[in-house]
Structure 1
Amino acid sequence: MDRKLLATAICAALAWSLAATAVRAQEVASTEAKADDDATELDRVLVTGSRIPRAQLETASPVITITAEDIQRQGFRNVSDVLRAQPLATGAVQDNQYAGSFTSNATTISLLGLSPSFTLILMDGRPLADYPLLYNGQSNFTDLTSIPTAMVERIEILPGNQSSIYGSAAIAGVVNIILKKRLDGMQLDARVGGYSDGGGDNERLQLTGGKAWDNLDITYGLQYSHQDPIYMRQRDFTDTTDDNPNPGLRYGSRTFIILNGFTGQYDDPGAGCDNVAANFDGTTQRDFRPGRGFFCGSRAQPGYATLLNEEKGISAYFNSNYRMGDNANFYASVLYGKNEAKNDSGSRFWIPNYNDGTDGYIWNQTEQTLETYQHIFSPEEQGITNFTTDSTSYNIALGVNGTIADSNWDYDVYYSRSGYEVKSDQLWPLVDEMDAFFQEQFLGPQLGTYYGYPVYEPNKPAFYQSITPEQFRAFSGNLRNTSSTWTHNFNVQLTNPDLFQLPAGSVGVAGVFQLGYQHWDNPVDPGVSGDDYFGLSGTSGSGNRANRAVGVEFSIPLLKSLTASVSGRYDSYKNIRAGSDAKATYKLGLEFRPIDSLLLRANYATAFRAPDMGYVFTGGNGFFSSQTDYYKCETYGPNPDCPFEGLSLEGVQVANPDLKSITAKSYGFGFVWSPSDRYELRADYYNVRIEDEVLPQSFSRTLFDENECRQGRLDINSPTCVDALSRIQRGPLNANPLLSESVQLVTIKAINIAEEQISGITAGGSARFDWGRWGEFGFGLDYNLTLDHTTVTFPGDPETDLLSPQQALSAEFKSVLTGDISWQKGDWSANVHGIRYGSTPNYAAQFGVDTTPGTSQGRVGPHMLYNMSVSYDLTEKSALSLTVNNVLNTKPPFDPTYDGSQGFAPPFYNIFAYNGYGRAFWVQYRIDFGTNN
């Protein structure tokens, strides 16, 4: 199938259908005019972005709606995939492809290319508890993995600032996941599937249903799902280092090396590699690295990491509504889920004396030289070493709503609570025990020190031998943690869509009062904080905060065709035993309808993000960063070719209880044209500007400022110098320049310092046609184009253009286009869903590095995917369907600069923007036992 041809067909079909609307508009208007006398008033509904019930679904702000039917026919696996595929989700995020991250078993989204923490995720308009572990080891966010698709009725996405309605975090926008409320009967849904390239076999079983009595409605649901993992070795573009786009880097992972510290050359292992040739399924061999020499390595070693997690989960849902009288209803809702996920980041490894500040070097007494060793453990040696998380989540709401006496005032009073607990477990080597093992195996006893380096007389031939899984477990320990979050809220809401009359119509009002309390607890294993585990850092922290809010919203008809909306809200946050902050936000909107079928709209709003609990209450988040020690380069030299560049330095991020809220302003305008329920065209412009954005202090800037102070180019007593010097911990002077005054730890904290601005256009349209014996066809397009995205990290710094190949700091799609062609005739229905991802900065542009010869900083070209579904109604009550995701089995786009030259292993594509899963397929059977939905 020709991609350009299909994309052109979608565009042409939609353009033609919308043009045809103009021809039919007069006929449609005439038909509707005849029905005016018999028309009844439309039911009022609640739309995300407003608390006032209204007849119109479109308001002053654009709302994108994805129904349960859309999720099914467009071929998405889960809620996370649904949201990641929306045109507004332009930012790259960490997911299970990044098996070495802090949150590898969680998923999230980045609306408008902004931080995931700037998107407020709601369920039925109520907040969800944060994921207990920190995104990128820094900030709190909402996990989407635990939300079952079986219970979803629709998802509404509202971009831009919405804090005047919903409070904190609604800067990039709001995602409101609305669950099913009324079913009559029962429906059973079974699905099995897998991937054409192997791995990822999965099953899902869903049971939903409900029953209505005179005064009682209940709805329930159960979902079980299971998914096998996909390993990198199961994809021909991620299975070995031979996939590297740079031919000069196509050599194996260094599973056994001895590196001379003076010459920078490997000791040639000779026949030593024969002793370990069985490792990594027999792929270990004597290999050659240009500039270093021969070593024992496996080109298949990176392929033993997972691309897609192994997962197993069960969810249960219950919702009820009891009518206590004409003016009161009691409702209750419970969603409970348990999920187990496993991933493998690849093999563990050993270098000598990891924690003593010698960078793994020893003094070889026999050969009178400095050298280091590396042994990467194979699956045959270490066995199964998955990182496992057992997650439990729940969401509870209890409330009463109704009408006050015979007035126009409606009320809704509820209590909600949401919680998340994650238990993690992984087997990891212990530093001292592992060193002791290898001393016994080949190093021998330590014979003292030489200029700070431990002295040994190693038996080098004995180094080239494999160990057993029993030996690996003897010097390893199970790293276990239990982290949790919960949030609960008490909410009182009053609404009146007819407060009083103006000449143009009724004034509507809504008022809300909220009390809330949040808890976050992310302990760290004592072995991690005590450096017992090899090369491992972690996040930690614990805290509580209370919040209260009061808000009001008005809908004011200025003219018959012009309506204004005004909302304001005051939020106060008190961090227990830390700082406090409060913010007032507001929003103004205009809706102009010159004719019934055309809406012109505009809005202006302010928003905020309360100080992140991860930044305020962290107990010290450890990490490692590749940095240049400017002080040692200048003091100990030589320059250029400083030996203290590219060092792996340890940092710790500490709490900042004095953080203030991030603030934002946004505005937008656009139109919606809908001459009938079969045709719609819309477009909107958005602009969001963020101030006081929280970022951790710069690691590299801290090292740079310290050197300027030590060299006398900055006043040693200046605030900059006092701060930088206080946050860098160095070792003592040593006669050996390599060890003298080495950086031992750099302490940083988050501060309100950055600014960010983004603007763009979102547009779309849909049309449906009944073509008689050919069936009914539907066409749809949705598009987002980012026009501008800039940041200023420090006051006074030049503006950074994130869309420029020369300044990009992360991968972000400049545009995303989705299109649908649907068809239905009799018992048959089908849908083709296309997604075109625009260009992104290449690896060289994101990291500002020179990589593969002949390449440069630039952009990776567009990426297109197609999903297809076909369904056949076997009977009135049952249906069989086939769904194929990524029909053409399209691989992630090729980036010649993503070559691992900066120390990154395969896969050689941007895993934060694309996935390498390949073609997926599902066969699904549904049987209906009388349900009306």
Structure 2
Amino acid sequence: MFAALLLPATGAAFAQETQDEQATTDTPQARTLDRVTVTGSLIPQTEIETFTPVTVISAEDIQMRGFTGLSEVLQQSSYQTGGLQGGQTSASFTQGAEAAGMFGLDPGYTKYLINGRPMANYPALYNGSDTFNNISGIPIDLVERIEILPGGQSSLYGSDAIAGVVNVILKKDLDHGVLTVRGGAFSEGGGSSVRFSLADSFSAMDGRLNVLAGVQYETRDPIWGYQRDLTDKYNNVGYTPATASRDYLVYGYSDIANQGFGNYGYVFADPNDCANVTGQFGGTEGLQNRPGFGEYCGSFITPGYRTIRNGKDSGQLYTHATFDVSNSFQLYGDLLYSYESVENATGSNYTWWGTGAKYGYYYDPDFDALLNLQRAFSPEDIGGAGYRDIMNTDRSNSYMLTLGGNGIFGDSNWEYDVGLTRTEYKLTERSWVRWADPIDDYFTENVLGPQLGMDPYFGAYPVFQPDYAAFYTPMSPVDFASFTGYATTESKTWDNMLRAQVTNSELFSLPGGNAGLAVVVEGGNQGWDYSPDPRLIEDPVTLESEVWGQTSVSGSGHRSRYAVTGELRMPLLEPLTVTLSGRYDAFDVASNTTDKPTYSIGLEYRPVQSLLFRGKYGTAFRAPTLSDVFQGISGYYSSVTDYYRCWDEQGYAPGNTDDCTYDSSQFFGQQSGNPDLEPIEADVWNAGVVWAPTSTLSMSVDYYSWDIENEVDLQSAEQLALLEYFCRTGQADMNSQACQAATTWIVRGATGAIETIYTPKVNVAQQKLEAVTASLNWVVDIGRFGSLAFAGNYTNNLEHTVRPLPDSPDIDLLRDPYYMWIYDAYAKTRADASVAWNLGKWTTTLYANRIGKTPNYLAYLNRTFDYEHSSGEKAGWWKPYTTYNMSVNYTPIETLQFSLMANNVFNDMPDHQANNHPGTTGTPYNNYFYNTYGRAIYFEARYKFGASN
């Protein structure tokens, strides 16, 4: 017990909140002083370690390791072995949000709680389809601790708890008021931030009323790609020569009269050889040549005009209050309000116009060719501050309000807690857009000219004789503004929950101690509404919206829900305890009810006090989310490798399609919800051992297994295209369900090109996952030199396979490099470790975070680790990647503390990956896992009001 209570100040630990801290020895509450509540159990108990592993990250851990927010804490957790979309992944559906997950499972498979109550879901959808939690709006300075509970936990927490549970405990009491000021910046530039927080507690009415109130405000500048060497230009150390952006490009099929559909390549039609546009992109635009394709006008520095970390302004207000009505009854209330304004720029890759979106191709009789125009917009076209003037902004307001009461029934052992929680999350997305008709009209009037009929070969493509000199000409900011603007999308989620719990920790006696029982009843309703700007909704006939090259997700719905949970803890013998739990959840949508029972059995065996063997078996589930059910048919524009045409027409097999004409084929995609979806089901179990040979040393090892079935999967366009290739080439059974789906959902036009891909949500996928985790905590007294505290955590995903369709082969997400990228990337192992040295008024902490090896880019392209490019670069693995944080805390007097923190102290960048990327990319590293932020320096001052010096 002593070791567990000591370790939170030194690293990961396992101590939990003591119940009824204000109870006195002459009140009924006094008998609970020796019991603690452990996340993963509803019953207070004397044991810290139970059958359920719990990792606790204390406020001291967060501060000493230099973490700047809750998302950074969880994204650097050893459990985070999967890649994430966010501020680095330009133009993602939720670029303004911050997500985290566990064991490489989707972020929505982790249940997030604040003070034990479910967080509000983010209104926008991760990857355009998945419900998840944005964890950036929680005031980090007001966090008491974070409890991470890995493994399936649905028998206690219901839906979404397949990967695990994260419970964020906010402060409930302070001995003294605290003012904290932190400021920092990155040594490479950008990302400067300032944060203020103020919190205090007070009591009134003879100590019966106790209130804590706190506020936090933070402002942060964005980091731009041009502020980092690795992202300010196209890759100039790749296995192919650096290739400039195709800012003014004419491309297509020439000589179609003699060559059928023609030869693909670039057509350079500028009579001035790019001389008119040399002032674009800061004077870097010029005549370029891509071997094998042809000439065009481009620049090498355009990747820098995007943000790789969002700018943000945020503020939170939090208050916790209790009022003791009597010695056996207490009222309580919590309010957490958060405001955020997040801005980002997607860059010139997503700021362009072309003829392909409207026409596919046009026919130019002067070249006897089917052609397309493509033109990027430069900062000079935009005018003013350039891309800073057309940033996207996501503004959100959210709150969580809980009101309730707890107490004891008379002189009995029965305790009760009844509370009502209301959460609401409102999001306004202000997105920069190009208006479809105005932008097409502008280029028709100034470049294309009038349509001159249809092509003489296919009768399918319009005929134009463009003014190419006008095409290769800058435009004025006034012209740019004439066809651009902003679209505003409003969305929200809400959840009402009434929860009642009764608990008896001394239900009856057994040889090993008192049995405990807890019963919980919940009921409520929840809703989701995503209402995009009407101009973003595509026409059902033309499949086009009023916004050029962009559509949006839409949907709205609500449901009621209720649940009953029971937990029984039985110390059968002094060394053996068995815990049973069961839960029944039901969701009512209109006249349909989706329900699911879950259960678990946990075992604890202590042959000696210092050794614990533990295990649990149970079931878990995830109910269809509101977006799964109510998401309307919505479209999106994207590109995919057309594996079948690459093979059939040009002889390129999957994994070797770099030079294929169809390596990046544009298509219009459609996706939708499905009201007939069933719950995702999972069988889960874990087993492990905890050993604490001394009061200052403890270690644990745990094994986890998931077997997930009936999984809701939004089909991947890239995956469908690859499956279609296998089916059409006879490598898969064309009559199978998988092949029938792939060939139906991919629609090709008269020329054989992919036109549309339908990627619906269906209950077809399966996942199997096995992982092992380990932790170590050790405090060493070194006499007059103070003390050292060591902490470490390690996760190794042993197996992880996915079967996207019932009769498709299993995909090995840990060993197939192609799918390790397609599924947002995976690292097989992840670890973190820290050592803190305390000496009098000084505490110094060194923290290391390690990402295990991941497949390099050539391995992804070729689906093998046995490949060597002509440049000498080899397919294989990127080596493990470790970054270090360091902090120094000095407390000259009790009321004042100064802290100096350096994150990524050695300024390590993922530049070792650039050699293995081609010269055509401006992101020559795996941006789902790694970042190019570099070293950050923070200074913090903390002052305690009213404390003695």
Give me the TM-score of the superposition, normalised by structure 1. Answer: 0.90
Alpha-carbon distance in structure 1 between the residues aligned to 2:731 and 2:244: 45
CA distance in structure 2 between the aligned counterparts of 1:859 and 1:633, rounded to whole angstroms? 27
The structural deviation recorded for 1:570 is 0.7
1:318 aligned residue? 319
SS of match in other structure, 2:528:
strand
Partner SS, residue 462 of structure 2: strand
1:464 aligns with 2:472: yes
Partner of 2:15: none
**For the residues of structure 1 that align with 2:431 and 2:784, how far apart are their CA atoms?**
60
* 1:893 Cα deviation after fit: 5.4
Aligned to 1:363: 363
Query: SS state of the match for residue 146, structure 1?
Result: coil
Moved more, 841-850 or 115-124: 841-850
Structure 2 CA distance for partners of 1:754 and 1:303, relative to 1, 3 Å: same
Corresponding residue of 1:892: 910
Q: 1:587 aligns with which of 582, 600, 603?
A: 600
Q: CA deviation at 1:95?
A: 1.3
Native 8 Å contact 2:54 2:149 kept in 1: yes
1:136 aligns with 2:127: yes
SS of equivalent to 1:883: strand
The letter of the residue matching 1:872 is: Y
AA aligned to 1:48 is T
Q: Is the 8 A contact 1:803 1:841 kept in 2?
A: no
Partner of 1:673 in structure 2? 691
How far, CA to CA, are the matches of 1:432 and 1:524 in structure 2? 19
What is the DSSP-based 3-state SS (H/G/I as helix, E as strand, rest coil) of the residue aligned with 2:884?
A: strand
Query: 1:24: which partner in 2?
Result: none
AA of the residue aligned to 2:228: R
| Aligned partner of residue 381 in structure 1, secondary structure | helix
The number of residues matched between the two structures is: 883
Q: Could you tell me how far apart the structure 2 residues matched to 1:239 and 1:64 are?
A: 39
Inter-partner Cα distance in structure 2 for 1:42 and 1:349: 62
Match of 2:411 among 401, 406, 411: 406
Partner residue of 1:513?
521
**Residues 142-153 of structure 1 aligned to structure 2 (within 5 Å):** 142-153=133-144
Conserved 8 A contact 1:562-1:590:
yes
* 1:533 is aligned to 2:547: yes
Measure the CA separation in 2 of the matches of 1:52 and 1:720: 47
Helix, strand or coil for the counterpart of 2:438? helix
Counterparts of 1:478-517 in structure 2 under 5 Å? 478-517=486-525
CA 1:89 to 1:300, structure 2 compared with 1: closer, same or farther past 3 Å?
A: same
Cα deviation 1:346-376 (Å, max 9, x = unaligned): 02444444443x32x3222444433222110
Distance 1:366 1:605, change over 3 A: same
Which residue matches 2:885? 867
Partner amino acid for 2:421? S
Aligned pair partner of 2:575 in 552, 561, 565: 561
Deviations 1:676-732 (A, max 9, x none): 44221211111122111111245467678989999999999998898667655565x
Aligned partner of residue 546 in structure 1, secondary structure:
strand
The CA distance in 1 between the partners of 2:170 and 2:501, in whole Å, is 20
* CA–CA distance in structure 2, aligned partners of residues 305 and 869 of structure 1: 31
Residue correspondence of structure 1 range 348-387 to structure 2 within 5 A: 348-356=350-358, 358-359=359-360, 361-382=361-382, 383=386, 384-387=389-392
Question: Secondary structure in 1 aligned to 2:62?
Answer: helix
2:498 alignment partner AA: F
Report the Cα offset of residue 271 of structure 1.
3.8
Q: In the alignment, which of 219, 228, 232 is matched to residue 221 of structure 2?
A: 228
Residue pairs, 1:118-197, within 5 angstroms: 118-197=109-188
Q: Determine if the alignment matches structure 1 residue 657 to structure 2 residue 671.
A: no
- Matches of 1:355 and 1:295 in 2, distance apart? 20
Assess if the C-alpha contact under 8 Å between 2:269 and 2:468 holds in 1: no
Pick closer, same or farther for the CA change 1:246–1:621 going to 2, 3 Å.
Answer: farther
1:433: Cα distance to partner? 1.0
* Per-residue Cα deviation, 1:820-863 (whole angstroms, up to 9, x for no partner): 11111221111111112111122344454689544454221100
Deviates more, 1:587-596 or 1:122-131: 587-596
Deviation at 1:455, TM superposition (A): 2.1
Aligned match of 1:445 in 420, 441, 450?
450
Match of 2:837 among 803, 815, 823: 823
CA contact (8 A) 1:232 1:907 kept: no
C-alpha contact 2:355 2:374 (8 A) present in aligned 1: no
How many Å apart are 1:127 and its aligned residue? 0.5
Change (3 A) 1:409 1:914: same
AA in 1 matched with 2:595: A
CA distance in 1, matches of 2:638, 2:923: 21
Question: Residues 449, 398 of structure 1: CA spacing in aligned structure 2 closer, same or farther, 3 A cutoff?
Answer: same
Instruction: Tell me which residue corresponds to 1:8.
Output: none
User: Are residue 776 (structure 1) and residue 777 (structure 2) matched?
Assistant: no
Match of 1:920 among 936, 941, 946: 936
Distance 1:652 1:866 in 2: 43
SS for the counterpart of 2:906 is coil
* Change in 2 beyond 3 A, CA 1:852/1:318: farther
2:240–2:918 contact (8 Å) kept in structure 1? no
Q: TM-score, normalised by structure 2?
A: 0.88
1:596 is matched by which residue type in structure 2? Q
CA distance 1:430–1:687, change in 2 (3 Å)? same
Q: Indicate whether 1:759 and 2:752 are aligned.
A: no
Deviations 1:739-787 (A, max 9, x none): xx75543333111112211212211111212322211221122111222
User: Aligned partners of 2:711, 2:187: CA distance in 1, in Å?
Assistant: 44
CA–CA separation in structure 2 for the residues paired with 1:272 and 1:630: 35
- Paired with 2:235 and 2:167, the residues of 1 have a C-alpha distance of 45
Quote the residue 1:21 is aligned against: none
Conserved in 2, the CA contact under 8 Å of 1:552 and 1:567? Answer: yes
In structure 2, the residue matched to 1:693 is 711
* Partner SS state of residue 164, structure 1: helix
Identity level (%): 38
| Structural RMSD (CA) | 2.9
CA distance in 2, matches of 1:41, 1:404: 15
User: Which residue of the partner structure matches residue 946 of structure 2?
Assistant: 930
Q: SS of 1:241's equivalent? A: coil
Which letter maps to 2:218?
S
In structure 1, what residue type is equivalent to 2:326? G
Q: Secondary structure at the match of 2:72?
A: helix
Matching residue of 1:99: 90
Distance verdict in 2 for CA 1:539–1:433, change over 3 Å: same
SS in 2 for 1:323: strand
Which position in structure 2 is the counterpart of 1:240? 233
1:837 to 840, 846, 851: 851
2:767 aligned partner, one-letter code: E
**Matching residue of 2:584:** 570
Tell me if structure 2 keeps the 8 A contact 1:277–1:285: yes
Letter of the structure 1 residue corresponding to residue 681 of structure 2: T
Distance in 1 of aligned mates of 2:732 and 2:905: 60
Q: Give the deviation of 1:528 after TM superposition.
A: 2.1
Q: Which residue does 1:76 correspond to in 2? A: 67
Q: Do 1:843 and 1:897's aligned partners in 2 also have CA atoms closer than 8 Å?
A: no
1:682 to 2:700 alignment: yes
Q: Which residue of 2 aligns with 1:109?
A: 100
Out of 51, 68, 73, which is 2:42 matched to?
51
The secondary structure found in structure 1 opposite 2:282 is helix
Contact 2:356 2:372 in 1 (8 A): no
Moved more, 689-698 or 363-372: 363-372
1:431 aligns with 2:432: no
Return the letter of the residue paired with 2:635: G
Equivalent position SS for 2:572: strand
Q: How far 1:209 sits from its partner (Å)?
A: 0.9
State the distance in 2 between where 1:709 and 1:851 align. Answer: 28
Check whether the contact 1:880–1:925 (CA below 8 A) recurs between aligned residues.
yes
Q: Does the Cα contact within 8 Å between 1:259 and 1:373 map onto a contact in 2?
A: yes
- The one-letter amino acid paired with 2:243 is Y
Q: 1:620 aligns with which of 625, 633, 648?
A: 633
Quote the offset at 1:225 in angstroms. Answer: 0.1
